Structure 1
Amino acid sequence: MTDYSLGDRGTLRVITDDYYDAEILQVFEELQIDREKVWNGEARLIPEPNNPYEPNSIAVYIDDIKIGRLSPADSAEYWKPITRVVASGYDAIAHLQLSAVLRRRDGESFIESEGLLSLSPAHSLFPLNQAPTQATLLPQGPSMKVLDEKDYAEYLHSILPPSGEGRVILSLEVNALRQPDGSFIDSVEVFHDRKKVGRLSTQMSEQLAPVIRYAFERNKLTSAWGTIRGNAFELSLTVQAVRASELPAEWFEELPNNVPELLPETENFKVPESYEPTEGELNRQNLSKKKRGLVGSFSVGGGTASDSPGSVEVKSGAGVENPNRRIALLLGIVGALILIGGVFVVFAEPMLGILAIVLGASIVFLGLFMGRPPMEATSDQ
């Protein structure tokens, strides 16, 4: 499927730390105690309408490895836009930073992990306009201010959404400007739907001009994500694109346009039943709320990881009869009587009264100890 790059002007946390340890190990291949590893790259967001535990959950994949999911609240917020992308025949792509570290505590080893998606709010995932058909789209990156945008304020106000902020697709074209000394410099002009809306600085123009010419020589326009912000009195326009020196070789080979046209808006989009349980999700009903320890080398060979044998969980013995209950009750009554008697005697015979109070209190505590609920140990094999 063709990739569809989602807006990246935000950060969203991914749930990675309950049922995905084996899969995260596959990503990193090896983890060492207290030495964090970080993975950066593109992740796919796949809706799971048939998830038996969290219906309409959105899973996060690195290649074919499911490493996490969005929270129920985030899945609900992003469900409609993500299913729109998938129903249109594309993969929903966002940048992911995944970190993991092996910890050891109380004799058990376990993985701590965190996933952060670069993802715009749900209402800003898609641009307000479409990229030109014969255009290649620069990967998203840091913001570059568009200059002279005030000269085009009337038009820009006409496309500014009521919310005061929106993502747009801008086209970049190179124009050679003649200097007073007769020399020429490259200036990158910025267009929105073929209407000029500003220019980039001389420094940014110098960096991007060769890239734009490279695409033009191959019959491609160059487009980039942008953001328009403002109100009735002022506005700003920025371009979000990686620097020319950071463009991957694949971009020059493919010249992709990964913001293709989507299906029209509707209430619901039908998507495939894509739930594929991980090893942890398969055993979900048997997992305790406490994270299970993992043992072994924590390296992946052939894509497998070993679990801890026989971890023990201690549970309160609700409903289990305590054979010492009657004795404990009797001790409590006797101790209380001695304690009360000591309180009265202490005024007449201080030493005797204090001894009685101490003895009575000791007997009461002994009764409480013997009458405590029993503990039941269960083995998690």
Structure 2
Amino acid sequence: MFPVFPDGYVEVVGEYYHQAAIETLLRPTLNGEGVSAELTLALVPEPDNPNGEGAISVRSEGLVLGYLSRADARRYWPVVARIVASGYQVSVLGRVYAYKRRSYDGKVEISADVTLRLPEPEAIVPLNVELASGVLLPKGNSLQVLGEEDHFDHLFNYVPPTGEGFLLLELRRGTKQYKNGSTKDMVFVYLDGEEVGQLSGQSGGHYLPTIRHLEDFGKKTMVWGKIKGSALSASLTIHGAKSHELSDEWLDAQPTASFDLVPESSTYDLPDAYKGAKRTNRPCQARPAPRAGAGDGGSHAFTSSAGGLQGDASAGHAPTTSIPAGTTSAPKPPGRFSKILMWFALVIGVLGLFAEPVGATFWLLVSLITRLYRRRKAAKFEAHRRHDAFSEG
């Protein structure tokens, strides 16, 4: 598993087409309150997706919940493909919200929204990823590292061109001696084997139990770090859960941060991963012809270019796009007739409240029902449109 620092927000598209998976995951009740969950989700590149090259699905427990939009998939494909080609699963934190309702035609539907805590593509891989090794703490609140100005000569080598990036830092237990001869355990911060600062006595005390615990197993304590700087100075913060915030599950697992990534390249060999059905109700553009030397149907090499992501079409992949089984046509937006009826009924109802209350109440109910119908139809159309933001570009 390759954990990603939870920073920023990216909206997932196509949840409408994965209602069964979301219902299995969250179990919302009909007409009940919405169900929300913070989950660890996986980003899975799908080189064999017939919707188009460069599709990245969002999954939980193997279930597809949606996709990155086409625009986001273009940006994230190179780094996600590199990580997966190295043998790791890209793991991100996300929020899944869902509620169950009955539509105007009597069908039960799941309305859902999936949001990822995903930084910019260039910040997904830590700046020192291949040199760091140890047990990585879960993300926690930000704490300032003290004394980093005394180690700028070392930190300067890690300041990225953007001026900000993520690191994997090591926390070590040490002793500080005061002038009166007394000593105190402190927490010192190391970057690739060299000290770059320390935590205050109070802040460090929250990590000492964890460091001692992992020392008993002969393991290092690693924590997320963020560096901000320029050619003149650099600031360093850590983002790790404190000892009392760690779960028993994490203590048992002790997830290791030690990664060996393949070199950056314009192409990566990826396994097939698409799970969807195929639709034939509407045509789409033909896929590119296979290039010479392309692999077989079991894996694909993908190239990133200025024009977007271009993939090898493998044998047997027809130019089709996917929707769930049972879907026969795309939802349509609310029509003009329902809009006229809604406003007509509202005006008649308001004007007749004092003259004919019973009749006015009827027309107001007609207006309300029509409004609800339009809102649900608009929501369904918008979900379909967001899904096609990927499939049609």
Query: 2:268: which partner in 1?
Result: 269
The 3-state SS of whatever aligns with 1:270 is strand
1:246 deviates by 1.9
1:287 maps to which of 317, 329, 346: 329
Checking the alignment, whether the CA contact within 8 Å between 1:16 and 1:114 is kept in structure 2 is no
The 3-state SS of whatever aligns with 2:113 is strand
1:250 deviates by 2.6
Inter-CA distance 115–78: structure 2 relative to 1 (3 Å threshold) = same
Query: 1:63: which partner in 2?
Result: 61
Using the size of structure 2 for normalisation, the TM-score is: 0.69
Query: 1:247: which partner in 2?
Result: 246
The 3-state SS of whatever aligns with 1:264 is coil
In structure 2, give the amino acid aligned to 1:261. D
Structure 2 stretches of 5 or more lacking a match?
279-321, 338-393
Checking the alignment, whether the CA contact within 8 Å between 1:54 and 1:72 is kept in structure 2 is no
Q: Distance in 1 between matches of 2:98 and 2:269?
A: 35
Checking the alignment, whether the CA contact within 8 Å between 1:160 and 1:230 is kept in structure 2 is yes
Inter-CA distance 133–10: structure 2 relative to 1 (3 Å threshold) = closer
The 3-state SS of whatever aligns with 1:282 is coil
1:10 deviates by 1.6
Q: Distance in 2 between matches of 1:134 and 1:158?
A: 19
1:98 deviates by 0.4
Using the size of structure 1 for normalisation, the TM-score is: 0.71
The 3-state SS of whatever aligns with 1:18 is helix
Query: 1:86: which partner in 2?
Result: 84
Q: Distance in 2 between matches of 1:79 and 1:130?
A: 19
The 3-state SS of whatever aligns with 1:232 is coil
Checking the alignment, whether the CA contact within 8 Å between 1:4 and 1:259 is kept in structure 2 is no
Aligned length in residues? 293
1:181 deviates by 5.5
Checking the alignment, whether the CA contact within 8 Å between 2:135 and 2:256 is kept in structure 1 is yes
1:235 lines up with 2:222 in the alignment? no
Deviations 1:60-97 (A, max 9, x none): 11112111111011111111111111111111101111
Structure 1 stretches of 5 or more lacking a match?
292-312, 317-381
In structure 1, give the amino acid aligned to 2:87. G
The share of aligned pairs that are identical, in percent, is 30
Query: 1:18: which partner in 2?
Result: 16
Checking the alignment, whether the CA contact within 8 Å between 2:55 and 2:70 is kept in structure 1 is yes
In structure 1, give the amino acid aligned to 2:158. I
Q: Distance in 2 between matches of 1:131 and 1:272?
A: 24
Query: 2:357: which partner in 1?
Result: none
Deviates more, 1:158-167 or 1:247-256: 247-256
Deviates more, 1:199-208 or 1:175-184: 175-184
Inter-CA distance 315–146: structure 2 relative to 1 (3 Å threshold) = same
Checking the alignment, whether the CA contact within 8 Å between 2:134 and 2:257 is kept in structure 1 is no
1:23 deviates by 1.0
The 3-state SS of whatever aligns with 1:242 is coil
Q: Distance in 1 between matches of 2:51 and 2:221?
A: 44
Checking the alignment, whether the CA contact within 8 Å between 2:101 and 2:109 is kept in structure 1 is yes
1:288-367 paired onto structure 2 within 5 Å: 288-290=330-332
In structure 1, give the amino acid aligned to 2:74. A
In structure 2, give the amino acid aligned to 1:266. S
The 3-state SS of whatever aligns with 1:205 is helix
Checking the alignment, whether the CA contact within 8 Å between 2:16 and 2:110 is kept in structure 1 is no
1:278 deviates by 6.3
Query: 1:329: which partner in 2?
Result: none
Inter-CA distance 181–104: structure 2 relative to 1 (3 Å threshold) = farther
Q: Distance in 1 between matches of 2:196 and 2:2?
A: 26
Query: 1:372: which partner in 2?
Result: none
Q: Distance in 1 between matches of 2:277 and 2:174?
A: 53
Checking the alignment, whether the CA contact within 8 Å between 1:174 and 1:212 is kept in structure 2 is yes
